[in-house]
Amino acid sequence: MELKPPASLRREHEELHAELAETIEAGGNTGNAAKKVADILHAHFLKEEEYALPPLGMLPVLAEGTVLPEMQAVIELTDRLKADLGHMLKEHEEIVTALKSLIRAAEGEGNEKAVIFAEKLMLHAQTEEDVLYPASILIGEYLKLKLSRRLISQN
């Protein structure tokens, strides 16, 4: 069973990376501030794509009621996210601080597109905190319950 983030989330990350690259290319104070965002964001996105978002790819299957023994691998990812959640949220704080600096620089240079991008990325981070991370963790907790019940009923 291949675990990967939903295509919509992968696409959103790709678009955010592309917009960040454009913002860096703008140069000036805006580009410098965007580079600082990129320095913080890159490692964070890698972690998300490694273990925070792939469990969400299971939602359609789980919503249909399908639970398979090989889904145990999902629990390892969600346990890792649960253990690292405080650090992930701290990284969001650092990213938002860098984005606020980007907004100030972009406003100073009249770069409306960079301001809109920074605001969009802050909303993305908030969505992860409010919805995506908790949903991913709940998937793991749900699978723990379902898979343990399955084992008990088989014995």
Res 19: pLDDT: 97
Q: pTM (2 decimals)?
A: 0.91
Res 149: pLDDT: 74
List of the chain residues with pLDDT < 70: 1, 150-155
SS3 117: helix
- Output the six-digit token pair for 37: 């965002």
Res 2: pLDDT: 79
Residues 66, 85: Cα–Cα separation, whole Å: 27
Residues 54, 95: Cα–Cα separation, whole Å: 22
Residues 136, 151: Cα–Cα separation, whole Å: 23
What would the DSSP string read from start to end of 51-70?
IISGGGGGHHHHHTT---GG
Res 17: pLDDT: 94
pLDDT tens digits along 7-39: 999 999 999 999 999 999 999 999 999 999 999
Res 150: pLDDT: 63
Res 154: pLDDT: 60
CA–CA distances in Å: residue 108 to residues 28, 29, 113, 115, 139: 10, 9, 13, 10, 44
Is 1 within 8 Å of 71 (Cβ atoms)?
yes
